[in-house]
Chains A and B, each alone.
Chain A
Amino acid sequence: MQQIMEAADALDVSHPQIYRDDSWRPLFAQLRAEHPVYYCPRSRSGPYWSITRFADIVRVDTDPLSFSSSYLHGGVTIEDRVAASFMQMDPPVHTEKRKNVTAVVAPRSLAQMESLIRERAGRVLDALPRNEEFDWVQRVSIELTSMMLATLFAYPVEQRHKLVHWSDVLTADLDDPESPVRTEAERQAGLQDFYMTMMELWQQRQKEEQSYDIISLLAHDEGVRSASFDEICALFGLFLVGGNDTTRNSMSGGAWGFSEFPDEWRKLKANPGLAGNAAAEIIRYQTPVIYQRRTATCDVELGDQTIAAGDKVVMWYISGNRDESVFKDADRLQIDRPNARQHTAFGMGPHRCLGARLAEMQLRILWEEALIRDLDIEILGPPTYAFSNLVRSPLSLRARIKD
């Protein structure tokens, strides 16, 4: 009741509505300029610190001793969660467990995936209607990332929509009027099917020879085999979301970005060799994962503030990627941006996105294949965004391809 009666904090950037409305830019600009290390006393998840400048985000992200990811402190989301994959652990345990699964995105695995990704991207683009409106999110972004996800899990590709649904349940904001689940209990109930399906696959793979899909790697790893049921489930969840939302949202964000800045599309057409840098720039521009949270383990001086032990500390990657002291004209998509690769969207430090190269490869190939086909893609309006402070997820993006 207390919280309801008190006025909302004007600089509370944890409210999902500002991402739904796409109205977050001025708030973060103000935070970076006036309160780069800001204590937000009231939010729906309680008090927390906002870290909004690029350099401070790197400082926090690279210091796991002072800023813990541990599930014992509530993990990596503003709302405490108890999931316990290596993402919610600190070095050295984190490092050991993460090492066990790096093979799934090792260079040799990616090389094997490249031709498959290219063939699928081509097929999806060829199947799009011509001179007729369609939803880019459904027909391209979700289609391609869910096929990739099915491959990574060696899950039947014809049932890939289930993976998308489970991922949506996992990331849903419970206050979202359109959320598929209303309570944490409902979320867990909704995920039981996912965990059981994966556990079944896991047991099956244990009996087979090791291959390079995620479940098989986990099934043959001694450390994982002796882990608790909850930890294994949390790992499945981590790979599900990691492989799904981020790439999906960047595929949508790229289409919208090229529509907002058509010169950039012309630039890419004139010089297809820029596709790799364009992929990095699209990821910066979109920032599909909006933030990650840490918990201070000791009192830390940052800026001219003192963060107290036990405080929640939120690194707003979306703001680091708009920091004008690092990225000139940061609100612009600029595919030949010299330091595009330096973005914060993958995080910095020990928890940096494991699938970064795979994500970049998928994006690069999508746009390369669109170029090869010389597609004249027209975007018919801005995307609608999910009600979420965690994933910047376009829900629909109306498009048309002119013949």
Chain B
Amino acid sequence: MQIIFRNAEAGERIVMASEGDTLMHVALANDIIGIPGDCGGQCACGTCHVYVDPAWVERVGRVEPGSTEETMIFGAPVDARPNSRLACQVNLIAIHDGLIVEIPEGQ
């Protein structure tokens, strides 16, 4: 499956991913700029924040209200939006083939 990362500074990258991966691991494995993933995928640092392309929000799902993920998104210095997710909390499945996410500027 393919994932598309968009970054205002570094442009667009199309990378291959496998079902069962997390979106963060895909980003790290491909050295995607702007996703340092400091805590290694434990929903503990908020540095894998992405904006899910509006056309994909339903398939990826929104952040659960009151969840740790929501807490981490709101507490991070990057702007939170209704389509914000932490990439480490997005488990990729077949229907995500072609997923487009935008990386917050300056992350």
Contacts and interface: CB of A to CB of B under 8 A. Distances in A.
Interface stretch (B14-22, B35-43, B83-91): B35-43
A106 B44 contact: no
A58 B75 contact: no
Given A341-B36, A342-B38, A348 B75 contact: no
Interface residues of B, number: 25
Interface stretch (A97-105, A128-136, A221-229, A301-309): A97-105
A375 to B, nearest CB: 28
Nearest to B36: A341
A350 B75 contact: yes
Given A339-B40, A352-B44, A107 B75 contact: no
A339 B43 CA distance: 17
B6 to A, nearest CB: 16
- Most chain A CB within 10 A, of B70, B72, B104, B107, is at B72
A29 interface: no
- Most chain A CB within 10 A, of B66, B68, B105, is at B68
Interface in B38-53: 38-40, 42-46
B44 A99 contact: no
A357 B77 contact: yes
A107 B77 contact: yes
Contacts of A98: 74-75
Contacts of B38: 341-342, 346, 356
A102 B40 contact: no
A98 B42 CA distance: 21
Given A58-B39, A352-B44, A352-B46, A107 B71 contact: no
7 closest Cβ pairs, A-B complex: A107-B106, A348-B44, A341-B38, A102-B77, A105-B77, A106-B77, A350-B71
Given A106-B78, A350-B72, 15 more contacts: A58-B44, A61-B44, A62-B42, A62-B68, A92-B66, A95-B70, A106-B79, A341-B36, A342-B39, A346-B38, A346-B45, A348-B42, A349-B72, A350-B68, A354-B77
